[in-house]
Structure 1
Amino acid sequence: MISGASGAPAGAPVPTATGSVAAPLPALEWKFSQVFGERAIGEEVQEVDIISAIEFDKTGEHLATGDRGGRVVLFERTDGKDQRTRRELERADSAGSRHPEYRYSTEFQSHEPEFDYLKSLEIEEKINKIRWCQTANAAQFLISTNDKTIKLWKVTEKKVKQVKNLNVDPGARGNGNPLSNNMMLNPKGFAPRLSMNGVAANRSTPAISPDFVFPPGGIPSLHLPSVVWSNETALVARCRRVYANAHAYHINSISNNSDCETYISADDLRINLWNLEVSDQSFNIVDIKPTNMEDLTEVITSAEFHPSHCNVLAYSSSKGSIRLIDMRQSALCDRHSKLFEETEHAGSRSFFTEIIASISDIKFARGGRYILSRDYMTLKLWDVNMESSPVAVFKVHEYLRPKLCDLYENDSIFDKFECCLSGDGMRVATGSYSNLFRVFGAATGSEEASTLEASKTPNRRIVTPPSKAGSRLANLARGRRDNRRGGESPGIDLNGGVQDFTSKLLHLAWHPAANVIACAASNSLYMYFA
């Protein structure tokens, strides 16, 4: 399975997510970088434009977003492509550090609304997850999914062809109307941007009057196209595979395997294993559906492959547990290899305990030694070699605990927040309400706990720091460990303001190699660097 030293006891140095013990790093100073799709004040946001998925590729050179309208939008990094001339670069004293900058690349319609006639159910076009696949021959591949159908897309550059030297003699006349140079004749009376064979007409070509009639005997001076040339390229997305009819319940996760050949898809009760080249069959590797549905006690909420072990994957449940399974043990992995579950304290249970314990997202650290999980109130970092308890717990919005009744009434308590880790594993991040997100230091003794707002001024919201002594006493009273960082005093709000539960930052992603975070606030994509 996975080798390594046993988990460190409480109070011992906590290794970083890369597996090495490191001293705390200074807190990062986050700055605004870019925004795409920023809405004007008072502008109404359409439901279909709200971003529902974000994903960097393994290199960080490309970024993909999906929205509730079924569209996938791609961005590419541009700061590495220096446009300065060689002489300008020679005159420059130093290249200087430049933070990653991205530009809009292309977009395509990935999913359309469907209707299941057997179950009389509408299937939304909303993109639930996007995952980048291995590149091949300078083409980008990615898989996207809605509630029922997964699709594999290939994105390549294609040269746009144009016709040159299509003209007639200026003296030639038809119906008494002179014909101008570089005029593309079209019986429908217009010059199309693209013809049926994919050849584009010159955009500056004027259209011929619909009243034009060819003179008797035709026009002898009419020339055929003498040159077909290409002066620009465009990205074209083509659907290569459609993986459908394999899930009875809504798909909540897809994850690529490190073998670059297979991937998994998970719904509430099952996890299926697919081959990227085979779309008409999959293998059911996890099935937690009971014989009697009345005996159902938990559902699958998220699943992810180990980053380097192609036979290992983890999935989380609505009970707050994470199961690690090894596909070599049996064809149907109903028995887990390891179970990560925190022991509940007697007397701490309430009506909301099971609801807020449900894990909404899990992520492996790059080395695979650690797993980051997000439940409603906290982030937890687990060592795969220590199942009894997490090595660190980060409180995201503890001030909302007294408001759980209100959150339950407006269904906000069921919101599913995502989480992410930095490429070096030294920091973790997740979202909250009022378009806020939080960044925590994961190294031993780190006190870093930044609260930022998805806006052009991310640091304008400041959390009132709690008393450290008071926080420790509260932890001791609850029987908690001292490594639970990032806590806030219950009831203390940000700037004394009122939380906006309609503005929630659910989706975010961390650049794999740089301190760059992309996060979605409604229909806008904000990017920050440090």
Structure 2
Amino acid sequence: MNGGGSEEAAEAVTAAAAPVGAPLQLEWKFAQVFGERTAGEEVQEVDIISAIEFDRTGDHLATGDRGGRVVLFERTDTRDHGGNRRDLERMDFPINRHPEFRYKTEFQSHEPEFDYLKSLEIEEKINKIKWCQSANGALFLLSTNDKTIKFWKVQEKKVKKICDMNVDPAKAAGNGPLVGPSISTSSKPYTANGGCLDKPLGLSNDFSFPPGGVSSLHLPVVLTSIETSLVPRCRRIYAHAHDYHINSISNNSDGETFISADDLRINLWNLEISNQSFNIVDVKPANMEDLTEVITSAEFHPTHCNMLAYSSSRGSIRLVDMRQSALCDSHSKLFEEQEVPGSRSFFTEIIASISDIKFAKDGRYILSRDYMTLKLWDINMDSGPVSTFQVHEYLRPKLCDLYENDSIFDKFECCLSGDGLRVATGSYSNLFRVFGCTDGSTEATTLEASKNPMRRQVQTPSRPSRSLGTLSRGFRRGADTSGADTNGNAFDFTTKLLHLAWHPTENSLACAASNSLYMYYA
């Protein structure tokens, strides 16, 4: 009894000493891979994954590629639990098995086009995929390339086949021989019950049935081999509404509308109406020479159907309330970080451009990704980000090289965990990083998109050091190694992990490395 009490007391002391709100660092493990390359295999350009998205339940995953195809995956490891999995997720009950997905179907979403008015080729590459509310067992999703958005319905249809005609094999030589010998030449046709008809419908007077009917002819009533096939169907096409390339689409929480954004405009659509949209944001100046920034990403608030946020190439995020006016030319809140005096360089504006923004599930925070950092913003505090995470600070001495090979314009995506405790984004050499974003958390894990994700561990703090001396020493080390990170690993600008998604309810990540889809769990 006393020993047990001492152990309980020790556990209580340990729990009290642990920082409140700082969860333990996750140990990430490889789950599965789709489309893995063999050594030396050449990857076709059209097979490179360009978009990835979980649905709101996490039971389905969609990817889009540069060839205009959409591939759907479905989860298989939860079928044994049935409806109990939702109850387990609400409890503090761990599901020991890692998530498993399988290939479901694929379809050609977009084809290459040519704009004859502008003499412009329109690529078939899928820029974004967004899931819509499912209904009656059917899946719905939006996909877009640079100019055209499509609304897809994917539904299972049962196909029934006739396996037995129920005919005497000796007489089953065709319709002619089958019926011919059994037909009487009587002038009056007979019905099956022995009655007579002067002129049956569709038969002439010299065509008749014998009493009792034709014994060798039966209806094909045996249906077997019921097969289920997935049929994708394009329900609507939303076209001719953008002069510039579409960079974002986002569903509204009302389930009826969505937005699409290009460099200068954001349009509001109704899912049921494809020939009309409303322009709600327009940043195009009267004189294009006065253009100072463009829209880079846009997303609806997860719960408030009247609010949306969009980011710009100058590193700012604007929160918009559609109740203020029909054209949201003025923002309700502006989020941008103040520039440190004396820190400006040739690359300052380029690396400040925000490539992606995501709302947290509760709508309280916005996660943004610029070229060098992740920033977490509280929508109630516009003075600056609440957290800043250095993604690949060791590349700062290489900005000139990155500019010359256009890598500095790569658009990395970001994502948050469903519980809001962690954030993740990609980097070069097929690396991605996971950071803890709660108070007191120092979690910063670097993983590689491979079957051994922990092979390249980079132990660096999640937040930058305030010591300029330390930073300058780090820069000099990076310059000396000329092509290695702080851990001594060579980095490769040609392999980059741009697209990743976090499962909405579990610690599970899906990452796209070239044409391969890697999945991890913790």
Match of 2:323 in 1: 328
Match of 1:164 in 2: 163
Tell me which stretches of 4 or more aligned residues in structure 1 moved more than 3 Å: 166-174, 220-226, 464-468, 475-478, 487-492
Alignment of 1:74-473 (within 5 A): 74-82=72-80, 97-166=96-165, 225-465=220-460, 471-473=465-467
Which residue identity does 1:56 align to in structure 2? F
1:392-441 deviation per Cα after TM superposition (whole angstroms, max 9, x unaligned): 00000000000000000100000000000000000000000000000000
1:163-207 deviation per Cα after TM superposition (whole angstroms, max 9, x unaligned): 211487666798xxxxxxxxxxxxxxxxxxxxxxxxxxxxxxxxx
1:17-39 deviation per Cα after TM superposition (whole angstroms, max 9, x unaligned): xxxx9521111000000101111
1:493 aligns with 2:485: yes
Q: Is the 8 A contact 2:442 2:461 kept in 1?
A: no
Candidates 53, 56, 60, aligned match of 1:55: 53
Q: Which runs of 5+ in 1 are unaligned?
A: 1-20, 85-93, 175-219, 479-486
Partner SS, residue 404 of structure 1: helix
1:333-374 deviation per Cα after TM superposition (whole angstroms, max 9, x unaligned): 010110001000111000000000000000000111100000
Change (3 A) 1:467 1:71: closer
Structure-1 separation of matches of 2:508 and 2:395: 28
Match of 2:505 in 1: 513
Q: Which runs of 5+ in 2 are unaligned?
A: 1-18, 83-92, 174-214
Structure-1 separation of matches of 2:427 and 2:274: 37
Q: Is the 8 A contact 2:443 2:462 kept in 1?
A: no
Structure-2 separation of matches of 1:83 and 1:275: 37
Match of 2:496 in 1: 504
The one of the two structures with greater contact order (alpha-carbon pairs below 8 A, sep at least 6) is: 1
Match of 2:210 in 1: none
Query: How much identity, in percent, do the aligned residues show?
Result: 77
1:451-505 deviation per Cα after TM superposition (whole angstroms, max 9, x unaligned): 000000000012154799x934239999xxxxxxxx9985561542321111100
Aligned residues: 448
TM-superposed CA distance for 1:160, in Å, is 1.9
Change (3 A) 1:173 1:309: closer
| Structure of greater Rg | 2
Structure-1 separation of matches of 2:428 and 2:468: 25
Match of 2:38 in 1: 40
TM-superposed CA distance for 1:155, in Å, is 1.1
1:528 aligns with 2:516: no
Match of 1:31 in 2: 29
Q: Is the 8 A contact 2:394 2:486 kept in 1?
A: no
TM-superposed CA distance for 1:96, in Å, is 6.2
Structure-2 separation of matches of 1:95 and 1:439: 21
Q: Is the 8 A contact 1:259 1:310 kept in 2?
A: yes
Structure-2 separation of matches of 1:524 and 1:222: 56
Structure-2 separation of matches of 1:106 and 1:319: 40
Q: Is the 8 A contact 1:395 1:488 kept in 2?
A: no
Partner SS, residue 136 of structure 1: coil
Which residue identity does 2:125 align to in structure 1? K
Structure-1 separation of matches of 2:501 and 2:450: 16
Partner SS, residue 96 of structure 2: coil
Change (3 A) 1:40 1:262: same
Partner SS, residue 454 of structure 2: coil
Which residue identity does 2:239 align to in structure 1? A
Candidates 455, 464, 468, aligned match of 1:474: 468
Which residue identity does 1:26 align to in structure 2? L
Write 1 or 2 for the structure with the bigger share of helix.
2
1:500-529 deviation per Cα after TM superposition (whole angstroms, max 9, x unaligned): 111100000000000000000000100000
Q: Is the 8 A contact 1:398 1:489 kept in 2?
A: no
The TM-score normalised by the length of structure 2 is: 0.81
Partner SS, residue 402 of structure 1: helix
Partner SS, residue 496 of structure 1: coil
Q: Is the 8 A contact 1:462 1:494 kept in 2?
A: no
Q: Is the 8 A contact 1:153 1:239 kept in 2?
A: yes
Structure-2 separation of matches of 1:276 and 1:300: 23
Partner SS, residue 465 of structure 2: helix
TM-superposed CA distance for 1:43, in Å, is 1.0
Match of 1:9 in 2: none
Structure-2 separation of matches of 1:355 and 1:116: 30
Change (3 A) 1:438 1:95: closer
1:229-268 deviation per Cα after TM superposition (whole angstroms, max 9, x unaligned): 3522122111111000000000000000010000000000
The TM-score normalised by the length of structure 1 is: 0.80
Structure-1 separation of matches of 2:507 and 2:53: 15
Structure-2 separation of matches of 1:461 and 1:66: 28
Question: What is the RMSD computed on CA atoms of the aligned residues?
Answer: 2.6
